[in-house]
Amino acid sequence: MSEYLPNADDRQAMRAFLARTEVRLSTMHRIAGVFLNGAGLLILFPVFFRDAISDINSVVLNNLAPLYDRAQHTRLTTSTIVDSILYLALFIPFLITLTIPIYAFYLLLKDIVYFYFAGHSPGFTEKLFNPRFVLSGLAFSTDESPETKREIMKHQYESDLITFIFPFAQHEASYYDQVKTQTEDFIIPETRKIEALREAGVFAATEEPASQHEFNRFNTALGLAGFLDRTLIEEVARSEISVVRNALCLRRLVLRYIKALLMFVWTTLLSFILVSFLSKVPPLIILPIGYVIW
């Protein structure tokens, strides 16, 4: 890490930039929130499954039923066998038209998860894999005022803030113990380990924290939130890359949404057209034509 120390003007410029990035990130997450609530896809879903698809399925099954009865009570004829095979073959394109839109919706959900969660939070060891929310905890920069930073940390560990983030039930709070054990303490930020806190003057060098167990839970919770004590320069660098990451993820998310929406609209529209023709045209004629057009 460079030993460069920014002057007062540099710090003011970085603070202004951080404010701008917060606005940009907030805008991006508002856009992503539209996809999280489903937008137009949730409107198409009931139409897609309840009306058009179920109607086509009913027509095919209703035409298969007489063929099945005929095969049960009379001898099988070539015509009956061929008709049965053709109707059963119609289920192949039917399943394809059903599966592809659902798969497109699955990919959209996957991209939403990728947008909101990161497998690795910057600043933590590469040995740790613990997916976290992409908007991490925010700490007062360590180089803004070391004395103020130390007093802030002292207040966090000496007040009831230590239990503020824990669930009320003890068996739920023990979840942090499990995470700490499973990650071999890698989840705890380096600056929040007991030894580092002593070196920083948060605890006296000879003092043994009375509530070390709760402190470890607290520090584990900070790690789960992606919380790190960064310098102002490190915070600016992370904010720059966060905007880039969100822009790339949002670009893919919008394109994926458009593809999924078009797939649902086209499949639903074509299904309604096919249903309107099924009452007048034999299914073995109209359905293959419709699936070829699809």
8-36 per-position pLDDT tens digit: 899 999 999 999 999 999 999 888 887 77
The pLDDT of 239-264, averaged and rounded, is: 89
Same domain? 103 vs 45: yes
Residue 1: inside a domain: no
The whole-number pLDDT of residue 233 equals 92
Same domain? 158 vs 254: no
Q: Categorize the per-residue pLDDT at 268 as very low, low, confident or very high, splitting at 50, 70 and 90.
A: confident
Query: What's the pLDDT tens digit per position in 108-150?
Result: 888 888 888 888 888 887 777 778 888 888 899 988 888 999 9
**More confident: 59 or 122:** 122
- If residue 132 lies in a helix (H) or strand (E), which one and from where to where? strand 132-133
Same domain? 241 vs 205: no
Q: Kindly tell me if the per-residue pLDDT of 95 is higher than 90.
A: no
Structural domain including 175 reads 140-229
Residue 42: inside a domain: yes
The whole-number pLDDT of residue 53 equals 67
Give the count of alpha carbons within 13 A of 22, CB side only.
9
Residue 169 has what DSSP assignment?
A: S
Tell me which of 49-53, 240-244, 251-255, 265-269 is least confident: 49-53
Same domain? 213 vs 260: no
Q: Kindly tell me if the per-residue pLDDT of 211 is higher than 70.
A: yes
Residue 286: inside a domain: yes
Helix, strand, coil percent content, the chain, rounded in steps of 5: 70, 0, 25
Same domain? 147 vs 119: no
Same domain? 71 vs 148: no
Domain boundary among 188, 210, 229: 229
Closest-CA residue to 115 (of 242, 19, 262): 242
Same domain? 83 vs 116: yes
Same domain? 127 vs 239: yes
Residue 118's beta-bridge partner residues?
Answer: 132
Counted domains in the chain: 2
The whole-number pLDDT of residue 273 equals 78
Same domain? 53 vs 167: no
Same domain? 36 vs 131: yes
> Are the beta carbons of 187 and 143 closer than 8 angstroms?
no
Separation between Cα atoms, residue 265 and residue 271, nearest integer Å: 10
pTM: 0.75
> Are the beta carbons of 117 and 32 closer than 8 angstroms?
no
Residue 2: inside a domain: no
SS3 label, residue 226:
coil
Same domain? 205 vs 244: no
User: Helices (DSSP H) in 37-77: which residue ranges?
Assistant: 41-47, 53-73
Q: List the Cα angle 140/3/154 in 5-degree steps.
A: 30
Domain boundary among 229, 255, 286: 229
The whole-number pLDDT of residue 161 equals 85
Contacts within 8 Å (CB) and 24+ apart, 100-106: 100/263, 100/267, 101/48, 101/260, 101/263, 101/264, 101/267, 104/256, 104/259, 104/260, 104/263, 104/264, 105/41, 105/260, 105/264
Separation between Cα atoms, residue 40 and residue 234, nearest integer Å: 40
Q: Categorize the per-residue pLDDT at 205 as very low, low, confident or very high, splitting at 50, 70 and 90.
A: low
